[in-house]
């Protein structure tokens, strides 16, 4: 019986990775949810917009590295991120002007807009692959670990080590800061309130003198900021590959729907729901029980509920279950 | 004649383009484009039935295609007797167990009214059932996968001619569509799109990782063909005579017998691949024509009119006494079954089943581009979309190369920018697809050949 080691084991392999993965998903889910609430369509370019922002962050990172600028123990990408954000904002605004605004004035059905977003998905994907190529890239520099397994073992004298990567801490801190600012903006400022009003009831919002153009523009700007930050954090933590980013669109959608689409706070929590359930269900609990149970009861299997190959399938199954029993999401969004 | 002029013109242009490829590149290339165009056309017909007739968005096309492919494996591969001996009984037991779980849940759902007790009971059945399944299947799967893992390691199929799989694939896909339809059809349009997209990913994940079923990512290769093999053809007397007859002109020019033999040999090898592809193209054309006749008849039947009524105004159709839910489910199953046929055709044509190659870009979104570009609601349009988009998808690389060379002709051959562009040629097809889709949606939202409704 060794509770301490068991807890550290779970912290190391379950809690810390799930927390950082969940934050990255949450950032994506929030902007998908916002676009759904305000522009009223499913934005299929989500994953590729994230890879677009990340690509420019990487390009600026390389540029700064070639100039010899760095942030010491922090990754240079943090410095490059604002520039990536600016370019992504320009990109989405141009895209809105050229493509989406036409369908808004035509009052096209949401399905039409979703199809159009598939067109922009193709274009964005092509741009990313033409500029930076389809390969796996790592752009992390600076100090890699905050806490190494060996150091932790020496410090506490436990068998199990706890590793905390600096990217995980950065992810968490940046997410907390960005999300707090976002919710402060949505709940306290006049523009934010007008956005929520527009999302709740478009006609009433227009009657009370809210400028729809401004609301739409701010939505796109927020989407670009969140996409770049979320994408860059994911890339720092793992690696940047356009195809993985495209695939990440699926758990992001799952998170947004599970949280109640159109409801940014629900989407934020939805990201963690998806991340934790993915990792909880595919983790092999053998070692955990070895610590907890007496030797005579030691399990012989891996005690894995599902093989890790089904990681994605878990989040999708959750989504299907939620759609079946609570179509408006766990945290009540727009009732569809 | 006159009212069908646009169809005739569009199809002749398409055919002309493919023939042009035959003259400019090679006939083998032109025919493989034609074959895949025909397969794409079947897929778009399936998607068009759902979207064009009934307005249902189905982003799960990839899943049905993969199921069709799975059917091709399960039908045509000879059974692996050893694997059946070691694990067959347990797997059959598992099938019965799943059926038992499903029926007992249905029984409880029907018998008892909704309550906390009922939900707990259902949950208990599912959990106990899953644990039992795991206990029974785990040793069986392990022993099946260890039966000469390099070549088999799976249960194998039925050893029937692969052509049967086209029908079986339709049934597989239809059955999956029935389940998905029961779950998801009540959802609003874009929810349905996301749900089907995610469910198709689950299907792919299962096919990829259940090695006992179809070897998963280890792929199944060397599936039997419904048409002759090139190697066999090259030794057949009648085929050699046929090639000789066709190429008499060029052969007669050469007087040297040895050289003449060499040339004939080359010609035979080349024309054997062409012949095989011609056979495939013939088979696929038959399928396309049969489906076209059926779907055209359906579109202009009272049933087709009812579907359009449901699509355009669900409430009114409901008020007229049409069962909207039932019709939606029916059309969802029918369309998916057609996509399943296409999936089986594709695996038949390739002769191998590679679950790793099923990606939503190629098998879901590209098919949707085809439907929208071609013209939703019009079967001729959908087929044309399949042809045009696939043609562009394949020929995008040469076109992009030409354009890049044209626009950067002022730059040097070794210019870094030019080299980078030339290296990223494969990705220009995404750009072309995206821009094409956006332009069509903006300026011709009904597609190249828009829907025509006969008013009576």
Say which DSSP state A304 is in. Answer: B
In tens, the pLDDT along B336-383 reads 999 999 999 999 999 999 998 999 888 999 999 999 998 888 899 999
Residues of the domain holding A232 = 22-249
Whole-number CA gyration radius for chain B: 26
User: pLDDT-derived band of residue B291, with 50, 70 and 90 as boundaries?
Assistant: very high
Q: Output the pLDDT for position A335.
A: 39
**Pairwise CB contact (< 8 Å): A320 & B195:** yes
Question: Quick one: chain B helix, strand, coil %, rounded to 5?
Answer: 80, 0, 20
Q: Output the pLDDT for position A332.
A: 62
Give domain status of residue A244, yes or no: yes
Give domain status of residue A320, yes or no: no
Q: Which residue shows structure tokens 């305000």?
A: A38
Q: Which of A103, A107, A316, A325 to mutate to test the interface with B (most CBs of B within 10 A)?
A: A316
Q: Output the pLDDT for position B326.
A: 92
Q: Output the pLDDT for position A324.
A: 72
Give domain status of residue A205, yes or no: yes
In tens, the pLDDT along A190-228 reads 999 999 888 888 888 889 888 989 999 999 999 999 999
Decide: residue B409, CB within 10 A, 0-12 exposed, 13-18 middle, 19+ buried.
Answer: exposed
Q: In 10 A of CB A56, how many CB atoms?
A: 24
Decide: residue A208, CB within 10 A, 0-12 exposed, 13-18 middle, 19+ buried.
Answer: exposed
With a CB cutoff of 8 Å and minimum separation 6, the contacts of A256 are A29, A32, A33, A36, A267, A270
**For a pLDDT cut of 70, what percent of chain B falls above it?**
99
Q: Output the pLDDT for position A185.
A: 94
Which one is predicted more confidently, B263 or A57? A57
Q: Which of A304, A323, A333, A336 to mutate to test the interface with B (most CBs of B within 10 A)?
A: A323
Q: Output the pLDDT for position A155.
A: 82
Work out the average pLDDT over B227-249: 83
In tens, the pLDDT along B293-302 reads 999 999 889 9
CB B71 within 8 A of CB B165: yes
| Residue A165 host element (H or E) | strand A164-165
Q: Output the pLDDT for position A31.
A: 92
Q: Output the pLDDT for position B1.
A: 54
Which one is predicted more confidently, B249 or B94? B94
Kindly tell me if the per-residue pLDDT of B95 is higher than 70: yes
User: pLDDT-derived band of residue B417, with 50, 70 and 90 as boundaries?
Assistant: confident
**Pairwise CB contact (< 8 Å): A327 & B187:** yes
With a CB cutoff of 8 Å and minimum separation 6, the contacts of A18 are A272, A275, A276, A278, A279, A280
In tens, the pLDDT along B134-178 reads 888 888 888 888 887 777 778 888 888 999 999 999 999 999 999
In tens, the pLDDT along A138-195 reads 888 878 888 888 888 888 777 777 888 889 999 999 999 999 999 999 989 999 999 9
Global pTM value: 0.90
For chain A positions 305-324, those within 8 Å of chain B (CB to CB) are: 307, 309-310, 312-313, 316-317, 319-320, 323-324
CA dist list (Å): A179 to A23, A26, A91, B281 = 10, 9, 23, 56
User: pLDDT-derived band of residue A240, with 50, 70 and 90 as boundaries?
Assistant: very high
B191, B424, B435 ranked by CB distance to A129: nearest? B424
In tens, the pLDDT along A71-130 reads 878 888 899 999 999 999 999 999 999 999 999 888 888 888 988 999 999 999 999 999
Q: Output the pLDDT for position A52.
A: 96
Closest-CA residue of B relative to A319 is: B195
Say which DSSP state B219 is in. Answer: -
User: pLDDT-derived band of residue B388, with 50, 70 and 90 as boundaries?
Assistant: very high
CB A239 within 8 A of CB A137: yes
Kindly tell me if the per-residue pLDDT of B81 is higher than 90: no
Kindly tell me if the per-residue pLDDT of A46 is higher than 90: yes
Closest-CA residue of B relative to A132 is: B424
Q: Output the pLDDT for position B36.
A: 94
Q: How many CB pairs under 8 A join A and B?
A: 121
Work out the average pLDDT over B306-325: 89
In tens, the pLDDT along A55-79 reads 999 999 999 999 988 887 888 889 9
Find how far residue A41's CA is from the centre of its chain. Answer: 19
Give domain status of residue A15, yes or no: no
Q: Output the pLDDT for position A26.
A: 94
Which residues of A fall within a CB distance of 8 Å from B445?
112
Q: Output the pLDDT for position A300.
A: 67
B159 touches chain A (CB under 8 A): no
The class (CATH top level) of B2-79+156-443 is: mainly alpha
Query: What ipTM was estimated for this complex?
Result: 0.88
Kindly tell me if the per-residue pLDDT of B242 is higher than 70: yes
Q: Output the pLDDT for position B2.
A: 64
In tens, the pLDDT along A261-292 reads 778 888 999 999 999 998 888 888 877 887 87
A288 touches chain B (CB under 8 A): no
Total domains, chain A: 1
User: pLDDT-derived band of residue A336, with 50, 70 and 90 as boundaries?
Assistant: very low
Q: In 10 A of CB B13, how many CB atoms?
A: 12
B188, B365, B429 ranked by CB distance to A118: nearest? B365
Work out the average pLDDT over B245-255: 78
Which of A171-180, B17-26, B269-278 tops mean pLDDT?
A: A171-180
Say which DSSP state A146 is in. Answer: E
Domain residue ranges in chain B:
2-79+156-443, 80-155
């Amino acid at each position: 019986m060794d509770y301490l080691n068991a807890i550290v084991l779970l912290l190391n392999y379950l809690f810390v990775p799930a927390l950082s993965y969940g934050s990255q998903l949450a950032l994506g889910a929030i902007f998908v949810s916002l676009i759904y609430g305000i522009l009223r369509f499913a934005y299929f370019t989500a994953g590729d917009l994230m890879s677009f922002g990340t690509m420019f962050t990487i390009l600026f990172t390389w540029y700064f590295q070639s100039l010899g600028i760095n942030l010491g123990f922090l990754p240079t990408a943090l410095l490059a991120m604002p520039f990536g954000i600016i370019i992504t904002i320009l990109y989405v605004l141009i895209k809105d002007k050229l493509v989406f605004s036409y369908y808004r004035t035509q009052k096209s059905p949401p399905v039409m807009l979703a199809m159009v977003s598939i067109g922009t998905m193709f274009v964005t994907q092509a741009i990313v692959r033409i500029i930076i190529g389809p390969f796996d890239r790592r752009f992390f520099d600076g100090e890699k670990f905050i806490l190494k397994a060996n150091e932790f073992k020496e410090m506490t004298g436990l068998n199990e080590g706890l590793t905390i990567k600096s990217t995980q801490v950065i992810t968490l801190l940046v997410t907390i800061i960005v999300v707090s600012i976002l919710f402060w903006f949505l709940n306290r400022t006049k523009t934010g309130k007008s956005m929520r009003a527009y999302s709740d009831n478009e006609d009433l919002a227009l009657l009370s003198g809210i400028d729809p153009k401004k609301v739409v523009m701010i939505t796109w700007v927020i989407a670009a900021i969140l996409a770049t930050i979320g994408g860059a954090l994911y890339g720092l933590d793992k690696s940047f590959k356009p195809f993985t980013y495209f695939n990440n669109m699926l758990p992001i959608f799952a998170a947004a729907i599970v949280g109640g689409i159109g409801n940014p706070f629900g989407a934020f929590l939805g990201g963690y729901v998806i991340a934790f359930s993915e990792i909880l269900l595919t983790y092999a609990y053998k070692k955990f029980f070895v610590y907890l149970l007496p030797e005579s009861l030691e399990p012989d299997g891996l005690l894995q509920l599902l093989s890790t190959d089904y990681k994605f399938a878990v989040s999708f199954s959750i989504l299907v279950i939620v759609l079946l029993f609570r179509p408006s999401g766990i945290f009540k969004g727009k009732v569809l | 004649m006159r009212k069908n002029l646009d169809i005739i013109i569009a199809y002749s242009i398409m055919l002309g383009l493919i023939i042009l490829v035959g003259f400019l590149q090679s006939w083998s290339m032109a025919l493989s484009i034609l074959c895949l165009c025909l397969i794409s056309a079947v897929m778009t017909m399936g998607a068009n039935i759902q979207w064009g007739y009934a307005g249902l968005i189905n982003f799960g096309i990839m899943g049905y295609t993969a199921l069709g492919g799975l059917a091709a494996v399960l039908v045509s591969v000879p059974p692996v007797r050893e694997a059946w001996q070691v694990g067959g009984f347990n797997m059959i037991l598992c099938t019965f167990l799943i059926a038992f779980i499903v029926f007992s849940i249905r029984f409880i759902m029907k018998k008892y009214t909704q309550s906390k007790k009922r939900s707990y009971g259902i949950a208990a059945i599912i959990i106990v059932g899953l644990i039992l399944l795991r206990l029974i299947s785990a040793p069986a799967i392990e022993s099946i996968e260890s039966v000469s893992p390099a070549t088999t390691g799976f249960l194998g199929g039925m050893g029937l001619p692969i052509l049967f799989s086209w029908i079986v694939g339709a049934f597989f896909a239809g059955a999956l569509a029935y389940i998905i339809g029961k779950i998801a059809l009540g959802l609003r349009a874009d929810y349905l799109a996301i749900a089907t997209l995610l469910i198709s990913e689950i299907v792919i994940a299962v096919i990829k990782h259940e090695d006992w079923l179809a070897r998963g990512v280890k792929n199944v290769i060397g599936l039997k063909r419904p048409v002759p093999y090139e190697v066999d053809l090259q030794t057949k007397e009648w085929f050699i005579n046929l090639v000789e007859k066709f190429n008499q002109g060029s052969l007669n020019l050469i007087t040297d017998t040895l050289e003449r033999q060499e040339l004939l040999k080359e010609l035979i090898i080349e024309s054997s691949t062409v012949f095989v592809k011609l056979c495939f193209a013939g088979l696929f054309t038959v399928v396309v024509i049969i489906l076209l006749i059926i779907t055209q008849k359906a579109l202009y039947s009272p049933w087709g009119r009812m579907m359009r009524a449901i699509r355009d105004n669900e409430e009114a159709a409901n008020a007229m006494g049409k069962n909207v839910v039932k019709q939606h489910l029916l059309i969802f199953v029918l369309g998916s079954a057609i996509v399943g046929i296409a999936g089986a055709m594709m695996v038949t044509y390739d002769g191998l089943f590679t679950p790793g190659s099923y990606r939503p870009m190629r098998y879901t979104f590209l098919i949707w581009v085809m439907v929208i570009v071609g013209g939703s609601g019009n079967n001729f349009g959908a087929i044309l979309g399949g042809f045009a988009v696939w043609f562009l998808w394949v020929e995008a690389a040469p076109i992009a190369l030409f354009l890049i060379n044209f626009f950067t002709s002022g730059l040097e051959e070794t210019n870094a920018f030019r080299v980078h562009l030339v290296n990223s040629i494969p990705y220009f097809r995404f750009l072309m697809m995206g821009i094409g889709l956006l332009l069509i949606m903006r300026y011709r939202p009904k597609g190249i050949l828009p829907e025509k409704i006969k008013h009576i």
